[in-house]
């Protein structure tokens, strides 16, 4: 059917067409922005963390008595807990840490080269106090220097050596070798590969680690365990009982794999993307109902007209295509208007949340989805239209 | 009344004649309103003022009294003990209280398993400033250190099985404390006195301890804390009182504009004196933030809820357009009947009344559907954003808003179709 005749047909029901166009445009706008947010969340969850996510378990816990929260009773408790956890079948390595990786925020501070403080300062760097096995548990590749083999007190007479990640070393020492030099927190013993520290930090891969005893754990601490690939679930199940047997004066806040920890880190974004996707699906459903209703009503109201066309020689497939074409045209027009709405919505959303700008291919993808939904919705009314007998035309005579 | 029943009967017949389009219209409108209303619940609660009579009189003072130089920095969002002491020297405020929160373990006897508790460590004016209701007992006589605490009603009932427990003794982190008061049911939402870092979403604390005791017993802040010089944050009793360990929120009550102006001047003088003494190198950047602006000041507004508010509004509009579309089709299908009634002598006003009854009936169905969908949607949002859970409750005011919104939307949906049905050309309509 020629385009101008399709336009003419739409013009005959201006109000209905206008309502449909507005809905399609808004649905298109929401669909586009939902895809964008879902993409962004997926990208965030898939960004490299430098950590073995599935095989590493993090136990967050805290002693419930004052004495156990302080050195030396704390040191003894940690040794007993790690020995017991190491004995669980399937545990390959275990370490303590004042905090785990993949957090929103936590214990952090600035790290700089004391000789050029202003130029080299990195703010909000996560500061870890860990046992020597920390690097083995997280499988952090050593890039330069030598990893400390035993715990040295941070506030002892000899300065406790510091291990920093590659990104931090490059920032503080401007790309020159860092091992053997000194930062404000101590001498740099080694540089390890980047891993995801804290989200609130300026750069998530900046991390500073000191192998040292824990003196106080008023905020709790983490036990990090690496397991064999097939035993993570079993180790996880055994952990509460094993730790309670070591000392019952503890509170276990959670036991998670690092993969779950990463998921939680982006739970807000995941929640919003899920809600928007659900809403987009509802909007598509609403648009399908609209398209169905419009096509169905049109078929009922214009049975005589369809009958005349059939009497004049129009084939069933022509009638079918005519009805579908009308809806396709409405959808394309709605999508064109929807691009403007999508840009506006994107601008509005970017004022309250972080959302990427629209790319050129997304409108095409969203238009394809919309066309598919409209086609499905219009199929049945169009099929009904093909059943209108040419004899219906005689009723108009 | 008889006429009304007649109109209702006609409306019901009309629904029964074509139930699917009617149900779709109601469903779509319910969906739009339900989803919009669920998010509006959170938005309304999070932006509500928990102390409408006082929130313009309570202020959080912040100053750049720190041992480092920064020309364009905002002052730290928490204060050190020594800075609070300097601010507390002023008699201008009608009330003032420093505070922070910490974690602890509470038990009645050493043999009992410990109960984890959240502690607000504060001063006596806290209770009057924030209108905290007391059920039993009293607050501390002054701001000195003492082994006395106040319990929330829920904590008292959880530990003792009753609320009147003044004079009873408890072990808090293995130290013996006496209960001197029990609060009545109290939940300040949003918790504006602790607004940094979205803490305002959290529930009120379980127990209340004097500030000086908190420092004496080295209770570390479980929220925002910073150390700006060579201080050991674990030594609150010593370093915490003298060095730049920042962890305190500080609130003052300034009832009149004159008091507020005088306090601003006091802060300016204090910073000037400190600078003159060579203690603090940074330029003045004083802030005196009103309680009702504190979340915005700390940048803690919930972007997700705002974003979803925009989207749900859009969804509601789509649903209104869709329901109008369906409604129009339904009325056009019934056009002949309307025209026949007009031809038989029915007045336009009578037809309009019939349509109003139609609309009311639709509103009733839609309201029910919207409430069910809103309930489900709120549960889904609680699952996806558990931190907002406390803000999910409804009250009569919110329900009335939903009812009014439903009525308006139903009216908008039926407005054009009813006008078209009542005011179109009779001849033309009868021919169709």
Interface probe, candidates A19, A274, A337, chain B, greatest B C-beta count within 10 A: A19
Amino acid B367: pLDDT: 94
- A68/A129 same-domain check: yes
Cis preceding-peptide flag for B106 (omega within 30 of 0): no
Which chain B residues are closer than 8 Å to A290 by Cβ? 322, 325-326
- Per this entry, what is the length of chain B? 432
- A215/A325 same-domain check: no
Domain boundaries, chain B: 2-49+302-431, 58-297
B315 and A301 within 8 Å at the Cβ level: the answer is no
- A353/A380 same-domain check: yes
Which chain B residues are closer than 8 Å to A289 by Cβ? 24, 28, 322, 326
- A67/A206 same-domain check: yes
Close Cβ partners of A172 (under 8 Å, ≥ 6 residues apart): A111, A112, A113, A120, A122, A164, A178, A183
A16 and B21 within 8 Å at the Cβ level: the answer is no
Q: Residues B33, B39, B386, CA angle at the centre, nearest 5°?
A: 140
Which chain B residues are closer than 8 Å to A270 by Cβ? 384
pLDDT of B244-267, one tens digit each? Answer: 899 999 999 999 999 999 999 999
In contact, B366 and B409? CB cutoff 8 Å? yes
A23 and B222 within 8 Å at the Cβ level: the answer is no
pLDDT tier at A183, thresholds 50, 70, 90: very high
- A142/A271 same-domain check: no
A29 and B174 within 8 Å at the Cβ level: the answer is no
Q: Residue B379 pLDDT more than 90?
A: yes
Residue among B304, B314, B324 minimizing CB distance to A19: B324
Amino acid B106: pLDDT: 94
Give CA–CA dist B102/B220, Å, rounded. Answer: 6
Q: Residue B223 pLDDT more than 90?
A: no
Q: Compute the radius of gyration of chain B from its Cα atoms.
A: 30
Amino acid B431: pLDDT: 59
Close Cβ partners of B265 (under 8 Å, ≥ 6 residues apart): none
On whether residue A51 sits in a domain, the answer given is no
Strands A182-183 and A91-97: what pairing? unpaired
Q: How far is B329 from chain A (nearest CA, A)?
A: 7
Q: Among the three residues A208, A229, A258, which one is the final residue of a domain in this structure?
A: A258
Query: How many contacts, defined by CB atoms under 8 Å, are there between A and B?
Result: 123
Q: How far is A352 from chain B (nearest CA, A)?
A: 5
pLDDT of B66-96, one tens digit each? Answer: 877 777 788 999 999 999 999 999 999 999 9
Interface probe, candidates A185, A266, A269, A352, chain B, greatest B C-beta count within 10 A: A352
Which chain B residues are closer than 8 Å to A214 by Cβ? none
Give CA–CA dist A297/A291, Å, rounded. Answer: 10
Give the distance, in angstroms, between the CA of residue A291 and the centroid of all CA atoms in the same chain.
34
Give CA–CA dist A131/A135, Å, rounded. Answer: 9
Give CA–CA dist B236/B100, Å, rounded. Answer: 13
On whether residue A136 sits in a domain, the answer given is yes
- For the residues of B302-371, what is the DSSP string, one character each? -HHHHHHHHHHHHHHHHHHHHHHHHHHHHHHHTHHHHHHHHHTT--HHHHHHHHHHHHHHHHHHHHHHHH
- A337/A271 same-domain check: yes
Amino acid B429: pLDDT: 57
CA dihedral B245, A183, A202, B282 (to 10 degrees): 50
Q: Residue A261 pLDDT more than 70?
A: yes
Which chain A residues are closer than 8 Å to B318 by Cβ? 22-23, 26-27, 283, 286-287
Q: Among the three residues A240, A258, A276, which one is the final residue of a domain in this structure?
A: A258
Strands A250-257 and A56-63: what pairing? antiparallel
- A389/A363 same-domain check: yes
Number of domains in chain A: 2
In contact, B151 and B134? CB cutoff 8 Å? no
Which chain B residues are closer than 8 Å to A33 by Cβ? 311
Give how far Cα A67 sits from Cα of A41, A130, A228, B22, B117, Å.
Answer: 43, 20, 35, 70, 18
- For the residues of B199-228, what is the DSSP string, one character each? GGGSPPPSEEEEHHHHHHTT---SS--EE-
Give how far Cα B196 sits from Cα of A108, B119, B224, B236, B365, Å.
Answer: 17, 17, 8, 21, 43
- A29/A74 same-domain check: no
- A172/A92 same-domain check: yes
Q: b/e per residue, A178-200, with b = 16+ CB within 10 A?
A: bbebebbbbebbbbbbbbbbbee
Judged by phi (left if over 0) then psi (alpha if -120 to 50, else beta), residue A327 lies in alpha
Close Cβ partners of A115 (under 8 Å, ≥ 6 residues apart): none
In contact, B204 and B191? CB cutoff 8 Å? yes
On whether residue A80 sits in a domain, the answer given is yes
Q: How far is B371 from chain A (nearest CA, A)?
A: 17
Give CA–CA dist B236/B219, Å, rounded. Answer: 8
Q: Is B97 helix (H, G, I), strand (E, B) or coil?
A: strand
In contact, B169 and B118? CB cutoff 8 Å? no
A279 and B222 within 8 Å at the Cβ level: the answer is no
Backbone angles phi, psi at B287, to 5 degrees: -135, 135
- A67/A198 same-domain check: yes
Amino acid B172: pLDDT: 95
Q: Among the three residues A212, A239, A258, which one is the final residue of a domain in this structure?
A: A258
Q: Which residue of chain B has the CA closest to A250?
A: B114
Task: Over range A11-28, report the average pLDDT.
Answer: 84
Crossing angle of helices A267-301 and B303-333, in 10° steps, is: 10
A64 and B303 within 8 Å at the Cβ level: the answer is no
Lowest mean pLDDT among B96-100, B216-220, B248-252, B277-281: B277-281
- A39/A109 same-domain check: no
Amino acid A202: pLDDT: 76
Residue among A105, A271, A283 minimizing CB distance to B304: A271
Could you give the maximum distance between any two Cα atoms of chain A, in Å?
109
Q: Tokens for A127?
A: 């500061």
A241 is in which domain, residue-wise?
56-258
- For the residues of A281-292, what is the DSSP string, one character each? HHHHHHHHHHHH
Q: Look at the alpha carbons of A171, A172, A174, A179 in this order and tell me if their dihedral is positive or negative.
A: negative
ipTM greater than 0.85: no
- A99/A241 same-domain check: yes
pTM for this model (two decimals) = 0.84
């Amino acid at each position: 059917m020629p385009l101008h005749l399709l336009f003419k047909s739409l013009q005959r029901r201006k109000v209905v067409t206008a309502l449909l166009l507005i809905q399609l445009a808004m649905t298109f706008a929401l669909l586009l922005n939902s895809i964008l947010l879902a993409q962004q969340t997926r990208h965030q969850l898939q960004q490299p963390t430098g950590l073995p996510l599935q095989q590493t378990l993090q136990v967050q816990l805290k002693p419930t008595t004052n004495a156990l929260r302080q050195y030396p009773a704390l040191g003894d408790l940690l040794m007993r807990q790690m020995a017991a956890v190491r004995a669980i079948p399937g545990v390959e390595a275990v370490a303590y840490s004042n905090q785990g990786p993949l957090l929103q925020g936590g214990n952090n501070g600035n790290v700089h080269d004391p000789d050029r403080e202003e130029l080299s300062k990195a703010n909000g760097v996560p500061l870890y106090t860990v046992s020597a096995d920390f690097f083995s548990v997280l499988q952090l590749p050593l890039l330069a220097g030598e990893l400390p083999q035993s715990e040295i007190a941070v506030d002892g007479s000899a300065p406790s050596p510091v291990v920093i990640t590659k990104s931090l070393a490059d920032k503080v020492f401007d790309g020159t070798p860092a091992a053997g030099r000194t930062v404000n927190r101590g001498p740099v013993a080694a540089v390890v590969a980047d891993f995801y520290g804290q989200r609130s930090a300026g750069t998530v891969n900046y991390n500073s680690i000191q192998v040292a005893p824990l003196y106080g754990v008023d905020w709790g601490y983490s036990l990090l365990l690496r397991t064999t690939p097939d035993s993570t679930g079993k180790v996880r199940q055994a952990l509460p009982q094993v730790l309670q047997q070591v000392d019952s004066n503890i509170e276990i806040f959670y036991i998670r794999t690092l993969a779950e920890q990463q998921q939680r880190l982006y739970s807000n974004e995941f929640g919003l993307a899920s809600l928007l996707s659900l809403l987009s699906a509802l909007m598509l459903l609403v648009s399908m109902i609209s398209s169905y209703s419009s096509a169905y009503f049109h078929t009922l109201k214009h049975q005589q007209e369809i009958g005349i066309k059939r009497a004049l020689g129009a084939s069933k497939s022509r009638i079918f295509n005519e009805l579908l074409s009308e809806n396709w045209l409405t959808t394309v027009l709605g999508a064109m208007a929807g691009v403007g709405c999508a840009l506006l919505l994107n601008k509005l959303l970017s004022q309250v949340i972080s959302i990427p700008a629209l790319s050129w291919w997304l409108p095409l993808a969203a238009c394809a989805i919309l066309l598919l939904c409209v086609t499905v919705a219009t199929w049945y009314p169009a099929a009904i239209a093909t059943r209108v007998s040419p004899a219906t035309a005689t009723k108009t005579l | 009344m008889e006429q009304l029943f007649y109109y209702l009967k006609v409306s019901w017949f009309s629904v029964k004649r074509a139930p699917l389009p009617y149900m779709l219209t109601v469903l779509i409108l319910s969906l739009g309103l339900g989803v919009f209303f669920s998010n509006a619940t959170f938005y309304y609660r999070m932006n509500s003022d928990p102390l409408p009579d006082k929130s313009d009189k309570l202020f959080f003072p912040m100053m750049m009294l720190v041992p480092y130089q920064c020309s364009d920095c905002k002052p730290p969002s928490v204060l050190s003990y020594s800075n609070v002491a300097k601010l507390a020297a002023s008699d201008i405020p009608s009330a003032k209280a420093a505070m922070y929160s910490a974690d602890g373990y509470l038990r009645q006897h050493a043999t009992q398993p410990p109960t984890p508790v959240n502690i607000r460590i504060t001063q006596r004016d806290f209770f009057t400033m924030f209108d905290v209701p007391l059920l039993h007992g009293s607050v501390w006589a002054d701001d000195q250190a003492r082994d006395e605490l106040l319990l929330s009603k829920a904590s008292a009932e959880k530990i003792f099985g009753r609320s009147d427990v003044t004079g009873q003794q408890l072990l808090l982190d293995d130290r013996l404390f006496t209960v001197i008061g029990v609060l009545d049911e109290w939940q300040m939402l949003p918790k504006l006195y602790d607004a940094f870092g979205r803490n305002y979403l959290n529930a009120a604390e379980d127990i209340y301890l004097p500030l000086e005791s908190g420092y004496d017993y080295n209770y570390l802040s479980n929220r925002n804390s910073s150390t700006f010089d060579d201080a050991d944050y674990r030594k609150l009793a010593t370093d915490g009182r003298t060095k730049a360990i920042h962890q305190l929120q500080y609130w003052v009550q300034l009832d009149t504009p004159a008091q507020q102006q005088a306090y601003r001047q006091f802060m300016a003088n204090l910073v000037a004196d400190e600078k003159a003494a060579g203690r603090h190198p940074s330029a003045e950047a004083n802030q005196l933030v009103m309680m009702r602006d504190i979340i915005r000041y700390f940048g803690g507004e919930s972007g997700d809820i705002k974003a979803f508010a925009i989207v749900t509004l859009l969804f509601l509009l789509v649903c209104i357009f869709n329901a109008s579309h369906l409604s129009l089709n339904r009325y056009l299908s019934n056009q002949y009947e309307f025209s026949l009634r007009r031809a038989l002598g029915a007045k336009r006003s009578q037809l309009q009344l019939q349509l109003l009854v139609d609309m009311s009936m639709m509103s009733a169905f839609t309201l029910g559907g919207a409430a069910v969908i809103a309930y489900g949607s709120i549960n889904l949002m609680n699952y996806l954003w558990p931190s907002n859970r406390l803000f999910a409750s409804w009250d009569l005011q919110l329900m009335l808003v939903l009812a009014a919104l439903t009525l308006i939307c139903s009216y908008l949906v039926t407005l054009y179709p009813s006008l078209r049905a009542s005011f179109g050309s009779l001849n033309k309509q009868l021919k169709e």
